[in-house]
Amino acid sequence: MIYIDNRQNKIEVTSELINVIKEVIEYTLQEEKLFIDNEVSVILIDNEEIKKINLKQRGIDKITDVLSFPMLYYPKNKVFKDVYVNYKFGESDLYDNKLVIGDVALSVERSKEQSEEYGHSFTRECAYLTVHSILHLLGYDHMEETQKSIMRKREEEILNNFNISR
């Protein structure tokens, strides 16, 4: 189950954009071998709101494009398909018979700015940030150069396979 809640009114969010976000999430989860019923929540917000969340959750007082809040634990340098692909989730792991993967906060205002800055479509930027964030929910990171390289490669593979490219 994918929940998307548009909590801003600065940038138009069309049903087509919502569908792309949902499709990208579903495709990314499938590509990353997550076949159990699951739940992901996405809030679409503006720059002011994401700045507040960034400060409260990370102690960073600045606007960012997307924030991810994973609900699963991953050992260092491991991702969902390394840890959980054959794991038998029990009732205590599930909420309403679904595995809660995590939450995403996406600034559509920042997405619009970045799409113009990078010279590609707003839809492409939102799709990229969605894939990026879902990969974070699945244990990927980019704090170290090796991890960053793996994550960037995976992002581009998923977007290219989804026919969303630069």
- pLDDT, one tens digit per residue, over 49-59 is 999 999 999 99
- What 3-state DSSP class applies to 51? helix
Question: What strands lie across the sheet with 2-6, from one edge to the other?
Answer: 2-6, 38-45, 99-107, 66-70
H-state helical runs in the chain: 15-31, 47-58, 80-83, 108-118, 122-137, 145-161
CA atoms within 13 A on the CB side of 114: 19
The answer to whether residue 166 scores a pLDDT higher than 70 is no
Domain ranges of the chain: 2-161
Break the chain down into helix, strand, coil percent, rounded to 5: 50, 15, 35
What CATH number labels 2-161? 3.40.390.30
Q: Residue 2 and residue 113: Cα distance in Å, rounded?
A: 25
Partners of 99 in beta bridges: 38
pLDDT at 34: 93
Task: For 112-145, write each residue's pLDDT tens digit.
Answer: 999 999 999 999 999 999 999 999 999 999 878 8
The answer to whether residue 88 scores a pLDDT higher than 70 is yes
pTM: 0.92
